[in-house]
Amino acid sequence: MLIVMHHQASSRDIEKVKKTIIAMGLRPVAIPGAERTAIGVVGNQGWVDDMPLRDIHGIKEIIHVTKPYKLVSRDFHFPNTIVRIDKNTNVGERRPFLIIAGPCAIESREQAMKTALFLKKLGIPVMRGGAFKPRTSPHSFQGLREEGLDILSEVRERTGISTVTEVMSPEHISIAAEKVDMLQIGARNMQNFDLLKEAGRTKKPVILKRGLSATIEEWLASAEYILLEGNPNVILCERGIRTFETLTRNTADLSVIPLVKSISHLPVIFDPSHATGKRTLVPVMSLASIVAGAHGIMIEIHPDPDHALSDGPQSLHFNEFAKLRKHMKDMEIFVKKL
């Protein structure tokens, strides 16, 4: 429910609305605006009887929100959210396009450090690298787990680069939060609700990937779980969805980016690696995502993709990434002029 106040409503009227909401066993969320104040109501699990509010002075309109998400929507919070990753790095509207790159999985100290030093040379602020890997087959490489987290922590210490890694279960969150700067919730876990809630109890930035067959509303409802627990630092990541197509790993739908930006205030980034599954398609789709309005990108790169333990075919060689980095800079300048 959303309560829109008249612009002449007094602070006493607003306080009365808030107190009434609390007395109804619900939680008021103030939504200040330049023109008017609105008060969002969260905590209800279904229809709310608005009778106790109807006669309060200063209320212009009571809107019943039927969507499965509120806090992530622009109805409840209009301004663009900017997520701070480290003291020099932010992501969101009118912030520099965020580039995150790195291997699918952390395979060794040497592989991770080589990648981090390369990224540092290019000025890339965040390195990705999976320690806990969600693999389709239990016979595939499952990640170095805690050892992988230690390597990521060493990467940060030695290079100053920020890091992001995937968490697959609620127990991973506290151990990963100590060792990395951002958490990633992968496509397969987009609706792991206990995991989402636990991620909501940290203040770490969380990259929430769209599920393999999730609708946009299901994806936003998952983000809502994180915000509702008190963590506003969510970055949505489109990584392609499962369709009937078999020539690409997933179907990359870039129209999702402007659409989600119109509904939600959260930053939206794109993962061209999982979206296509093919190294040859990654550069052009990366550039296209800048045109579509993405706030950033997460790309898989590897010092030796042919021998990568996971996702080699979609990982760029270092030289390919360096070339793409240059083209992305040009594209950013071009798009700003549009």
Is residue 166 a contact point for Mn ion (CB under 5 A)? no
Is residue 187 a contact point for ligand PEP (CB under 6 A)? yes
Q: DSSP code of 217?
A: H
Q: Which stretch binds Mn ion (CB under 5 A): 28-36, 186-194, 209-217, 310-318?
A: 310-318
CB of 271 to Mn ion, least distance (A): 9
CB of 300 to Mn ion, least distance (A): 6
Q: Which of residues 65-124 bind ligand PEP (CB under 6 A)?
A: 104
Nearest to Mn ion of 89, 315 (CB atom): 315
Burial class (CB in 10 A: 0-12, 13-18, 19+), 14: buried
Is residue 209 a contact point for ligand PEP (CB under 6 A)? yes
239 interface partner picked from ligand PEP, Mn ion, none, CB below 5 to 8 A per type: ligand PEP
CB atoms within 10 A of CB 178: 9
Query: Among 51, 47, 33, which residue's Cα sits nearest to residue 1?
Result: 47
Distance between terminal CA atoms of the chain? 38
Q: Give Cα 188 distance to the centre of its chain.
A: 15
Q: Are 211 and 219 in contact (CB under 8 A)?
A: yes
186 interface partner picked from Mn ion, ligand PEP, none, CB below 5 to 8 A per type: ligand PEP
Task: List for the chain the helix, strand, coil content (%; round to 5).
Answer: 40, 20, 40
Chosen residue from 77, 172, 261, 274 binding ligand PEP by CB under 6 A: 274
Is residue 107 a contact point for Mn ion (CB under 5 A)? no
Q: Are 324 and 282 in contact (CB under 8 A)?
A: yes
Site track for ligand PEP across 311-330, x = CB under 6 A: --------------------
279 interface partner picked from ligand PEP, Mn ion, none, CB below 5 to 8 A per type: none
Reading phi first (left if > 0) and then psi (alpha if -120 to 50, else beta), residue 128 is in beta
| Sites of contact with Mn ion (CB under 5 A) | 104, 311
**Residue ranges that bind ligand PEP, judged by CB under 6 A:** 104, 130, 134, 186-188, 209, 239, 271, 274
